[in-house]
Amino acid sequence: QVQLVQSGAEVKKPGASVKVSCKASGYTFTNYAMQWVRQAPGQRLEWMGWISAGNGNTKYSQRFQGRLTITWDTSASTAYMELSSLRSEDTAVYYCARHPPGWGYFDYWGQGTLVTVSS
Amino acid sequence: QSALTQPASVSGSPGQSITISCTGTSSDVGGYNYVSWYQQHPGKAPKLMIYEVSNRPSGVPDRFSGSKSGNTASLTISGLQAEDEADYYCSSYTSSSTYVFGTGTKVTVL
Question: What is the model's pLDDT at position A53?
Answer: 78
Nearest CA in chain B to A110: B45
Nearest CA in chain A to B6: A44
Tens digit of pLDDT for each residue in B22-51?
999 999 999 999 999 999 999 999 999 999
Confidence bin at A54 (pLDDT 50/70/90): confident
A91 Cα distance to chain centroid = 14
- Contacting residues of B for A107, CB less than 8 Å apart: 48, 51, 57
Tens digit of pLDDT for each residue in A59-116?
999 999 899 999 999 999 999 999 999 999 999 999 999 999 888 899 999 999 999 9
SS (H, E, C) A32-65: CEEEEEEECCCCCEEEEEEECCCCCCEEECHHHC
HSE, CB side, 13 Å, CA atoms: give it for residue B65: 9
% of chain B at pLDDT higher than 90: 98
Contact of B98 with chain A, judged by CB distance below 8 Å, is answered with yes
User: Contact A47/B3, CB-based, under 8 Å?
Assistant: no
Roughly how many angstroms between the first and final C-alpha of chain A, as a whole number?
Answer: 40
User: Contact A105/B91, CB-based, under 8 Å?
Assistant: yes
User: Contact A107/B57, CB-based, under 8 Å?
Assistant: yes
Q: Evaluate whether A78 touches A21 at the Cβ level (below 8 Å).
A: yes
